[in-house]
Amino acid sequence: MSSNKKYWKSVEELNENSSIVEALKQNEFVEEIPTDEFLGNKDLGASSTTRRDFLKYVGFSTAAATLAACEGPVIKSIPYVVQPEEIIPGVANYYATTIADGYDFASVLVKTREGRPIKIQRNTLAKANGGANARVNASVLGLYDSLRVQSPRKEGSPISWEELDADVIQKLNSLKDSGKDVVLLTQTFASPSTSRLIAEFKEKYGNVRHVVYDAVSESATLDAYQAKYGERALPNYDFSKAETIVSIGADFLGNWQGGGFDSGYSKSRVPQNGKMSRHIQFESNMSLTGANADKRVPLTPSEQKMALAKLYSYVVGGSVSGSLPEAIDEAVKKAASQLKRAGSKGVVVTGIQDVNAQTVVLEINDYLNSQVFDKSTPIKSRQGSDKAVMDLISDMKAGKIGAIIMSGVNPIYTLPNASDFAEGLKNTELSVAFSMKEDETSSETQYIAAAPHYLESWGDAEIKKGHYSLTQPTIRPLFNTRQFQEALLKWTGNDMSYHDYIKDTWGTGILNGSSFNQALHDGVFVGAIATETEDTTAAIENAEMPSGDAARALAASVKPSALELTLYTKIGMGDGQQANNPWLQEFPDPITRTSWDNYLTVSKFDADALDLVNTHVSNGALNGSYANVTVNGTTLKVPVIIQPGQAKGSVGLALGYGRTAKGIKDEMKTGVNAYKLYQNFNPIQDVTVELASGEHEFACIQLQNTMAGRADIIKETTLEIFNTKDKEHWNEKEGVSYDHQEIPTSDKNADIWVGYDTSIGHHFNLSIDLNACTGCGACVIACHSENNVPVVGKREVRKFRDMHWLRIDRYYSSNDTFKEEQEDLENLGAFEPYSKVERQSYENPEVAFQPVMCQHCNHAPCETVCPVAATSHGRQGQNHMAYNRCVGTRYCANNCPYKVRRFNWFLYNENDEFDYYMNDDLGRMVLNPDVVVRSRGVMEKCSMCIQMTQKTILDAKRDGREVKDGEFQTACSAACNNGAMVFGDVNNKDSKIVEMVQDDRMYHLLESVGTKPNVMYQVKVKNTTES
């Protein structure tokens, strides 16, 4: 045992008397096969069909089916008339492009087959532009959304672009001298060409106002940065250089400031030469970042502000009024001293949306002279201004706005005061929404200008200052769409295509003589000179804020309240613009492991006080109370999840759910719209919560696959032990008993298997570094899209029939406190409440993530039990699964110690019961043609992306060369932005994977079972050293 921690996956497990946990430990498939349901049917006796008749029917239909099967269908093949030169059927083409949808900005590589984009990968040439997160990986599905608007519309009926142009231009001209404003309300484009274009548009029509609106505002940070550094941008941090990271409410491994900080963070987290960074997190909700922290301090949002002010005073000096609970104050002091010791390698970040708080952070980092804080490349992917949006709404209501043209925004969904906006919209003479969907806003406008998906568009972006990237179409537009920029070009009377316009912009301002085609090929270009971006905000008053004032102002602004709500965005759903994406809906939240929902996260303490409960029904599925959540008179009825680690006195709720628009399938209209509570663009709100009637059914896979008492599934240690003790101490290999002696599993006596000779050719291994893995889930979606994994829907997920080949297990653990609790428990009086001793576990558990897929055991238990040999071993180490051979006995799943096999309970494609992307022709275009779509009744599982390794081998064979290290990839390892997953051939002695095999931290999952897996893990090391 590496530590004396107890791990648990759900709150229910802490309850020793829970029959559910006991039942789940015993059963592989949570549900009994419901034989009683049909055998117990009393009506059967009344049926006129006798048993003999039934058998006759069966016999006849079998014979008929057999006869019918004798005739094969006629399959047509239709070749091109003129085959494009670059397309070879059966060979994938890759194009570098950029997603810039206003929320996610990333340089990506798009895999296309026969002209269809089928997969998004990260662009490894783009060093600075972050990685592709789960949403970016999933964005390809949006292209094939069957509910897209297929042509421009006027008042709901289709019109032509010419008519739209004529109407708009005529209206714009008539508004010129009316004194009313024309407003362009857009997402953040961060696009040099679009900025130039909008400036030209302004010039042509004069009275134009450009308002940038970010649904999830970073306005306070932008204001603070602009005040201090004179540029409207977000501060950039390179966490790879950090030694001490103090975060106060910043979910920087999630969506904070547009995300993309995780790859740098992970670099500093892997212990090298006995050193790794230390990460201290102060937060209210249990976020992905808090889950990864070495030390997590739960505190309410108002305490966060105070803690930040105190931190300032402890680090920089000066004093602030106000006080903190002693334990927290102690933690802040320790954090401060560690920061000071780290000096320029320390950094503070915060997610508090308050100009003072952000200013304080900038000042602390300045004071520390932090190298982590990268001033040369501020982030441009958020430009919005709360004030400008507020002004716009009041102007619209006052009838001062003549025309509004929107692109990439959905204010009626995302604004808290959406009704004001809708009212204002009616006062405008012209309203146009560029939208892919008939969404909440576009269905209220006069015109819907059908917009293309980013994979059908041209574009450019300057995501970080000086780091440019290009968007290019990877498919001909599927529908009669036109992008916003093309329309602006038309409306300004410019005959250029947007493609030429971008070329022109880049040629004059950016490329500085470099080749445009090269930049297009790479997708990214690092420029020497930064372009001027358009200033869209009113100048910030009192630009100079003297040092210390901000901290004092911050401390003074603290108004504690009984219960504070923190609105956050999930790593899966983000701001909700991809709500119609079934991959993202089914993507389980890394922390709560709940899919298809948002919910109020409540601490155990508050839940008890408010009578809110979570219960598990007999099959282990989770139910929760509803609560009425009221902010400033707005009430939402929200289901409740009791979240370990949630700070007492705080609750959390995710934005991005509760879509109601026509352009969203009914199945995806999940959750509640928390934007209604996002008042004044402040994610922190005073709130009252009370129990409401009813019980909500969650699709939570939390309790499934318990550890069944095997405590060393996940191995953790501390940096101190890691540095000072032998590896046998912290990475103990479980042995097996032989002749009453414990022998290691590598001993030949421990083994009754006839081994496979894997020494010749390739032998694939996958290493997963638990230190580098943040649990972000990009790999889950990448696996989904590479391997045609079906979406099963909320009802089925609730029955634990999710099909994810790769899951990321989340374990809570309680360290030393747990021992004490156990002792307390032993001394506990018979009638005293159990909750008395378990509190610590709820209050602040540690969290660990562990991606688990098929472990590809060399001694695979599944292979030996298959009666039809459908699963078998390959010499390259992969555990093969021949779907066509499988008869669905599910013995293999029962015998798998890792519970990674997935059974197709239904036909998930072309089945109206599962009306997701695989049920329509458009959605099926995303399927990977190299991987079979499984049918009902067969078992499936991770194949270690054998189609990818085989392709790599074939390419090498065709070229007549050996395979180079790094060429072998799986979808998950290629998607990992953090370098947590390393895949390779262990028979290639120079490869990185061999290093990983020999690493001291390496261990196999359930070593003592003796399965000899080809997937390995690296022990998680936490830097718990307090100073």
Partner 1 sequence: MRQVTHCRLNTSILCLGLIILLAFSTSLSAQEGDPAKGKTLFNANCAACHQLDKKMTGPALRNIEERIANDAGLGREWIYDWVHNSAGVIKSGDAYANKIYNENGQTAMTAFPQLSNADIDDILAYTAQEKPAPAVAQTTATTTTQKTDGSSISNNIILGALAILFLLLASGLYLVNKTLRRFAAAKDIELPETQRTPLWKAFAQNQFLVLVTVIFLMLASAYYVYGYMMQIGVDQGYQPVQPIHFSHKIHAGDNGIDCKYCHSSARVSKTSGIPSLNVCMNCHKSIYEYKGETSLEYTKEFYDGEIKKLYAAAGWDDAQQKYTGESQPVKWVRIHNLPDFVYFNHSQHVTVAGVECQTCHGPVQEMEVVSQFAPLTMGWCINCHRTTNVNMKDNGYYKKIHEELSKKYGVEELTEAQMGGLECGKCHY
Residues forming contacts to partner 1 in the complex (CB under 8 A) are 66, 69-70, 72, 74-83, 88-91, 757, 759-761, 870, 872, 874-876, 878, 880-885, 930-933, 943, 946-947, 950, 953-954, 956-963
Q: Are 404 and 393 in contact (CB under 8 A)?
A: no
Q: Are 652 and 284 in contact (CB under 8 A)?
A: yes
Least distance in angstroms from the C-beta of 90 to partner 1: 3
CA distance 626 to 640: 6
Of 51 and 989, which CB lies nearer to partner 1 in the complex structure? Answer: 989
Q: Are 907 and 888 in contact (CB under 8 A)?
A: no
In a 13 Å sphere around the CA of 989, the CA atoms on its Cβ side amount to: 2
Q: What kind and span of H or E run contains 307?
A: helix 301-315
| Residue of 663, 588, 669 lying closest to 851 (CA atoms) | 588
Of 109 and 948, which CB lies nearer to partner 1 in the complex structure? Answer: 948
Least distance in angstroms from the C-beta of 869 to partner 1: 8
Least distance in angstroms from the C-beta of 760 to partner 1: 5
| Residue of 949, 975, 976 lying closest to 963 (CA atoms) | 949
Tokens representing 858 are 């060399």
At 660, the amino acid letter reads T
Least distance in angstroms from the C-beta of 455 to partner 1: 23
Tokens 């997701």: give the residue: 916
CA distance 653 to 601: 6
Q: Residue 110's Cα: distance from chain center in Å?
A: 19
Length, in residues, of the chain: 1027
Least distance in angstroms from the C-beta of 981 to partner 1: 20
Of 326 and 921, which CB lies nearer to partner 1 in the complex structure? Answer: 921
Of 17 and 77, which CB lies nearer to partner 1 in the complex structure? Answer: 77
Least distance in angstroms from the C-beta of 478 to partner 1: 19
Tokens representing 1000 are 């001291």
Of 668 and 933, which CB lies nearer to partner 1 in the complex structure? Answer: 933
CA distance 6 to 713: 11
Q: Are 316 and 308 in contact (CB under 8 A)?
A: no
Least distance in angstroms from the C-beta of 796 to partner 1: 23
DSSP bridge partners of 181: 401
Burial of 959 (C-beta count, 10 Å sphere; 0-12/13-18/19+): exposed
Of 628 and 988, which CB lies nearer to partner 1 in the complex structure? Answer: 988
Nearest 5°: CA angle at 373, between 258 and 541? Answer: 75
CA distance 879 to 871: 7
Backbone angles phi, psi at 546, to 5 degrees: -60, 145
Non-local (6+) Cβ contacts of 717 within 8 A are 2, 3, 730, 731, 1019, 1020, 1021, 1022
Of 593 and 873, which CB lies nearer to partner 1 in the complex structure? Answer: 873
Of 223 and 930, which CB lies nearer to partner 1 in the complex structure? Answer: 930
Of 569 and 947, which CB lies nearer to partner 1 in the complex structure? Answer: 947
Of 235 and 874, which CB lies nearer to partner 1 in the complex structure? Answer: 874
SS3 643: coil
CA distance 969 to 982: 8
| Residue of 333, 340, 387 lying closest to 365 (CA atoms) | 340
In a 13 Å sphere around the CA of 138, the CA atoms on its Cβ side amount to: 29
Of 317 and 761, which CB lies nearer to partner 1 in the complex structure? Answer: 761
Of 171 and 880, which CB lies nearer to partner 1 in the complex structure? Answer: 880
Residue 740, Ramachandran bin (φ over 0: left; ψ between -120 and 50: alpha; else beta): left
CA distance 838 to 509: 62
| Residue of 293, 295, 297 lying closest to 310 (CA atoms) | 297
Least distance in angstroms from the C-beta of 594 to partner 1: 31
Straight-line distance from the first to the last Cα atom of the chain, in angstroms, rounded to the nearest whole number: 27
Of 51 and 958, which CB lies nearer to partner 1 in the complex structure? Answer: 958
Least distance in angstroms from the C-beta of 780 to partner 1: 20
